[in-house]
């Protein structure tokens, strides 16, 4: 988020933990202000070339108007943080919030769930297709086994950990 804001982009983040939001601003030595907006907490940077605004609260409480000017989304750890029974609700909410043409860079992790119970949870290519194909075009951009770069995951018992990046583009279908 910081890199995008320093490059001049307006950044809108979503985080459920108040502590994590405050830690982000403190760790990056950024001044911020907070306010209530529609009964939710919003934090905003005040000393960058562009704005970082973070919605703190329940993702499912977001409204389409909150993302009205969003053109691109980076989902680095949301989908993989959710257990399987919540993923369809999440994908449907993502479709509801986005206008046609909005692009999402989705990063998933795939591993043998018998070796480790998440989070992060394993999300396969088939899972991505089942969750998003109705409302998004899906393009698999790249994948790599990153287990050697993740010693903590090895310690948890994984023998393979494949990171996959997808480009999702919201289509014109309505919910």
Tens-digit pLDDT profile for residues 73-94: 999 999 999 999 999 999 999 9
Could you tell me the sign of the dihedral formed by the alpha carbons of 143, 148, 152, 155, in that order?
Answer: positive
* Angle (CA) 17 19 23, round 5°: 120
Q: What is the mean pLDDT of the chain?
A: 93
| pLDDT of amino acid 39 | 72
**Mean pLDDT across 37-64:** 87
Output the pTM of the full model. Answer: 0.91
């Amino acid at each position: 988020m910081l890199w995008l804001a320093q490059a001049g982009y307006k950044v809108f983040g979503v985080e459920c933990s108040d502590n994590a939001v405050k830690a982000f601003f403190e760790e990056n030595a950024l001044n911020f202000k907070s306010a209530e907006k529609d009964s939710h907490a919003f934090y905003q940077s005040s000393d960058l070339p562009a704005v970082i605004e973070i919605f703190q609260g329940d993702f499912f409480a977001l409204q389409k108007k909150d993302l009205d000017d969003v053109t691109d989304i980076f989902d680095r750890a949301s989908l993989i943080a959710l257990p399987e029974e919540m993923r369809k609700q999440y994908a449907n909410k993502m479709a509801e919030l986005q206008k046609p043409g909005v692009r999402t860079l989705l990063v998933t992790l795939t591993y043998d769930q018998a070796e480790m119970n998440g989070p992060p949870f394993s999300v396969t290519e088939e899972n991505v297709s089942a969750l998003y194909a109705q409302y998004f075009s899906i393009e698999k951009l790249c994948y790599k086994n990153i287990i050697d770069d993740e010693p903590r995951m090895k310690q948890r018992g994984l023998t393979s950990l494949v990171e996959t990046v997808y480009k999702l583009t919201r289509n014109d279908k309505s919910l």
